Amino acid sequence: MAALDETEVREGVDRETVETVASMAGKYKHGWETDIEMEFAPKGLNEDIVRLISEKNGEPQWLTDWRLEAYRRWQKMEEPEWAMLNIPPVDYQNQYYYAKPKSMVDKPQSLDDVDPKLLETYAKLGIPLKEQMILAGVEGADGEMGEGRKVAVDAVFDSVSLGTTFKEELARAGVIFCSISEAVREHPELVKKYLGSVVPQSDNFFAALNSAVFSDGSFVYVPPGVRCPMELSTYFRINAENTGQFERTLIICDREAYVSYLEGCTAPKRETHQLHAAVVEIVVLEDAEVKYSTVQNWYPGDEEGRGGIYNFVTKRADCREDRAKVMWTQVETGSAITWKYPSCILRGNDTQGEFYSIAITNNWQQADTGTKMIHLGRNSKSRIVSKGISAGHAQNTYRGLVSMHPKAKNSRNYTQCDSLLIGDQCGAHTVPYIEVKNTSSRVEHEATTSKVDDDQLFYCRSRGMDEEEAVALVVNGFCKEVLQALPMEFAMEAQALVAISLEGSVG
């Protein structure tokens, strides 16, 4: 990894990115915690807590009622059991549903006012300084930025959004990028129109829970005809103990608009499990395009399977009008348990949905992840490329649905799911559902399961690589199609993560 220091920086890639990647050569790097004074809502979940969260965010009555309705429905629901996951019972009353750094109660006006511990957190996470000033909640620091790659960041620390960078520049383009709590205050008409329109309150157990208690998250609106001038990203950090994180992201890409959105997640190492139940809703209108990339690196638990995040996520994009296009790319390396199926509803004619996924499980991690492609419009197209890698005692399942409705004439799907097993104590599973209900559509599905090829390993080793490096290289090759679909900023980080996640899995 030291070699990275001398690596020539590719165009469009920051020195910081290179250093970040270099610094990742080790076990889980983001396992530290920030010792900071927090304001908590009381432990447990009831209607009062839901009201309290709503009040803390200064929400209007309609949203409070919306949350309460979700909460009431959630109480009548059961946790889903169909996934190939062994989930110990979660005590939903033994969690904090709201946590906020005390220093954020009154928004700081200058860098001197910002809690230095928060600054330190983001410095440690490798978020560049200029951005960091804004992330820490300083107003007016995003005035003069140097040339080069720009990524606007919304940082969510436990339950609250700390700040969003490049807001002015984005505003000049007409793009709204802010925390969802701010959007509720500043753009209620948009939130009211689209919130819950893709993932309804009672869509599933975890989505209902999220709808009741979501504390913050990001909101994006790209107006008609606008190509968002930079990548947008949200950085999620769970810090407080026994705290669930329930963020809600809403992205609306209006006609002929384009946006690329990145999401990253980390959490400290802890002995106990922590809950994360997010909802992401994407609305794509006529001729618009959204790219959504995730590098999910929540704390995965230790070698014995102690601790780690339970990651129950509902992500769905609705290609509501003709020729809308959406692309999901995910690199799932973290979390003790992953339950996640980013989906595309291809409602309009000639719409397109794509899903690229790498899911790596090591030690005692369990992942049940995949996608749903629901073809409703004519000539809709979808493509699924899923790479699952299982090592140690981990279980990795691809679960997917491709559905061609009777009206979705002339639609196409291509699916490829490959699984790689490293070691003989892990499992790799594929559970695809294929439902074709018209004669003019075409669906192709391929899946393979194999182990790391001995010949390839031998070749690498004969060139002087040690076994772990060789495995990492072979695995990176196996994942190539997905890594290539990631934006540059994430590709390197993801590649390094692939290697790190598999550490200790050979020999």
Partner 1 sequence: MALRREVLLKARQEAASARLDALTLPAGGGWITRAREDALTRLRAMGLPTRRDEYWKFTDPAALVAPATDSAELLGEDPDGTVFDTIDRLKIVFVDGEFDADASDDLAAEGLEITRLAEAARHDLHWARDAYGLLEAEGQAPVERPLAALNTAFATDGVLIRATGKVSRPVALHYLRKDGNADAMVHHCIKLEPGSEMTLLESGAAAARFSQVLEVDVGDGARFNHVRTQGRDHERVSNSNLFARVGEGGVLKSFTLSANGALTRNEAFITLNGRDGVAHIAGAALGDGAFHHDDTVFITHAAPACESRQVYKKVLRGGATGVFQGKILVKQPAQLTDGYQISQALLLGGDDSQFLAKPELEIYADDVKCSHGSTTGEIDPEQLFYLRSRGMPEEEASALLVLAFVAEAIEEIENPDLAEDVRTHLAGWLDRHRG
Residues of this chain that bind partner 1 (CB under 8 A): 76, 78, 81-82, 84, 406, 419, 421-451
**C-alpha 309 chain-centroid distance:** 13
Nearer to partner 1, 181 or 396 (CB): 396
> What is the smallest separation between the CB atom of 505 and partner 1, expressed in angstroms?
11
Nearer to partner 1, 439 or 462 (CB): 439
> What is the smallest separation between the CB atom of 321 and partner 1, expressed in angstroms?
25
Residue 261: Cβ within 10 Å count: 25
Nearer to partner 1, 83 or 118 (CB): 83
The residue among 209, 215, 330, 208 whose CA lies nearest residue 264 is: 330
Residue 44 is given by DSSP the state S
> What is the smallest separation between the CB atom of 318 and partner 1, expressed in angstroms?
24
> What is the smallest separation between the CB atom of 177 and partner 1, expressed in angstroms?
40
Q: Which residues contact 147 (CB under 8 A, 6 or more apart)?
A: none
Nearer to partner 1, 188 or 423 (CB): 423
> What is the smallest separation between the CB atom of 84 and partner 1, expressed in angstroms?
8
Nearer to partner 1, 132 or 430 (CB): 430
Nearer to partner 1, 317 or 457 (CB): 457
3-state secondary structure 386-420: EEEEEECCCEEEEEEEEEECCCCCCCEEEEEEEEE
How far is 58 from 65, CA to CA, in rounded Å? 13
> What is the smallest separation between the CB atom of 447 and partner 1, expressed in angstroms?
5
> What is the smallest separation between the CB atom of 156 and partner 1, expressed in angstroms?
34
Q: 417 forms bridges with which residues in the sheet? A: 386, 447
Nearer to partner 1, 117 or 437 (CB): 437
Are β-strands 381-391 and 366-369 bridged in parallel, bridged antiparallel, or unpaired?
Answer: unpaired
Structure tokens at 200: 């309804």
Which residue in the block uniquely carries the two structure tokens 């992205």?
Answer: 251
> What is the smallest separation between the CB atom of 327 and partner 1, expressed in angstroms?
24
3-state secondary structure 373-388: EEECCCCCEEEEEEEE
> What is the smallest separation between the CB atom of 427 and partner 1, expressed in angstroms?
5
Q: Which residues contact 202 (CB under 8 A, 6 or more apart)?
A: 70, 73, 74, 77, 208
Output the CA–CA distances (angstroms, integers) from residue 435 to 139, 375, 448, 481, in the order listed.
52, 10, 20, 26
Nearer to partner 1, 31 or 427 (CB): 427
- Strand ranges for 166-230 from DSSP E: 176-179, 218-222
Which residue in the block uniquely carries the two structure tokens 């410095």?
Answer: 123
Nearer to partner 1, 183 or 417 (CB): 417
> What is the smallest separation between the CB atom of 425 and partner 1, expressed in angstroms?
8
**C-alpha 281 chain-centroid distance:** 12
How far is 338 from 208, CA to CA, in rounded Å? 18
The residue among 359, 447, 431 whose CA lies nearest residue 82 is: 431
Nearer to partner 1, 227 or 437 (CB): 437
Read off the amino acid at residue 324.
A
Nearer to partner 1, 86 or 439 (CB): 439
Nearer to partner 1, 368 or 489 (CB): 368
Nearer to partner 1, 124 or 451 (CB): 451
> What is the smallest separation between the CB atom of 77 and partner 1, expressed in angstroms?
10
Helix axes 47-56, 61-75, angle to 10 degrees: 150
> What is the smallest separation between the CB atom of 210 and partner 1, expressed in angstroms?
21
Output the CA–CA distances (angstroms, integers) from residue 485 to 247, 328, 329, 400, in the order listed.
25, 9, 7, 20
Which H helix or E strand runs over 142?
none
How far is 50 from 211, CA to CA, in rounded Å? 10
DSSP string, 342-356: -EEEE-STT-EEEEE
> What is the smallest separation between the CB atom of 110 and partner 1, expressed in angstroms?
54
| Whether the Cβ atoms of residue 295 and residue 268 lie closer than 8 Å to each other | no
